[in-house]
Amino acid sequence: MPNHDTILTYLQVTAHSRPFLQACYDKIGHHKAEHHAYNNADRFQYGLLLGGDYWRTALQTPLSVKPLLFYYGLNHFMKSCLLTVDPGYPATAKVLAHGLSTRKRKKQHYRFLEDDIRIQPHGLFQHAAHHLFQFSSNKEKVSMDELLRPLPAMDTIYQWKEEKAKEPDENWPELLRYFAVLYNLSMLVRYEGEWWGEMEQMKDREDYVFILHFLETASERIPELISLWMKDQWSSVP
């Protein structure tokens, strides 16, 4: 078995990806495992390749565009993960949407931690939540604070924040928390340029501290989580 640091690179080779996918499909009892492994190998590999390219580029870019590149990199990674458990992905155009939405116009005194995202009935988020984690949220919307606070990587920065936390939504998988927060940050970068620019300039704002810390920790943790997913799949196949 390739180690944690190399498995994503290892699986970008057709000679490795096809038998890996076939073993994944055999495990779930799919009657056309070999056929789907052959057809999905390229998409699976390119998802890992493009995800890695976005990631490496994001590490070298200014904060102003970093969340956007991280978000789309994670999109590609998660689509490759989905191909290990859902041979027919994407079956319909519905699953290609983000699966999340944000408030169109921000409040005058907007604070990032108080902002929330709404979970839509269809899209990549819902599809990944169901197929990768058998997870369903019991809320239609969830705040950034609720998503960030339980992340182990955010422990140190929350130590000085004494506000009482909201009751967190169910036991959200860590990767879905990162996906939802990066989605919201990518929307801020795209559509709230004035706020984002001021936040970067006013570096003493609480928003800046939390966002910067989140992105710094996400840059290492997300590829690790994707690698662990692939490693778990590898370990579980016959």
At residue 214, does pLDDT exceed 80? yes
Q: Tell whether 26 is covered by a domain.
A: no
List of residues 6+ apart from 125 with CB closer than 8 A: 98, 99, 100, 119, 176, 179, 180, 183
Name the token pair of 209.
Answer: 């501290």
Q: 15 lies in a domain?
A: no
CA 191, 90, 102: angle at the middle one, nearest 5? 25
Number of domains in the chain: 1
Q: Is 80 exceeded by the pLDDT of residue 237?
A: no
Each residue of 78-136: pLDDT tens digit? Answer: 999 999 999 999 988 898 899 999 987 666 678 899 999 999 999 999 999 999 999 99
CA distance 86 to 78: 12
Please write the tens of the pLDDT for every residue from 2-39.
Answer: 665 689 999 999 999 999 999 999 998 888 989 999 99
The rounded distance, in Å, linking the Cα atoms of 8 and 80 is 10
pLDDT at residue number 201 = 87
Tell me the residue range of the domain where 213 lies: 50-219
Mean of pLDDT values over 214-230: 96
Q: What is the pLDDT of residue 194?
A: 87
Residue-wise pLDDT for 60-78, tens only, equals: 999 999 999 999 999 999 9
Share the mean pLDDT of the chain.
Answer: 90
Across residues 142-171, what is the average pLDDT?
81
Strand partners, 119: 100
- 162 pLDDT band, cuts 50/70/90, is low
Q: Any idea how long the chain is?
A: 238
Is 80 among the domain residues? yes
Q: ∠192-53-209 over CA atoms, to 5°?
A: 40
Structure-derived torsion over alpha carbons of residues 60, 198, 156, 145, reported in degrees to the nearest 10: -110
Phi, psi at residue 27, to the nearest 5°?
A: -60, -35
Looking at per-residue pLDDT, the higher value among 195 and 119 belongs to: 119
Task: Establish if 202 belongs to a structural domain.
Answer: yes
Q: Which helix (H) or strand (E) holds 100?
A: strand 100-102
Q: Between the CA atoms of 199, 203, 209 and 210, what dihedral angle is there, to the nearest 10 degrees? A: 0
Q: Is 31 a member of any domain?
A: no
Q: Identify the CA nearest to 149 among candidates 183, 193, 181, 195.
A: 181
Q: Is residue 196 part of a domain?
A: yes
Residue 179: the pLDDT is: 98
Q: Determine, yes or no, domain membership for 39.
A: no
Encoded tokens for 70: 């991280």
Looking at the predicted structure, is the pLDDT value of residue 53 above 70?
yes
In a domain, 6, yes or no: no
> pTM for this one?
0.93
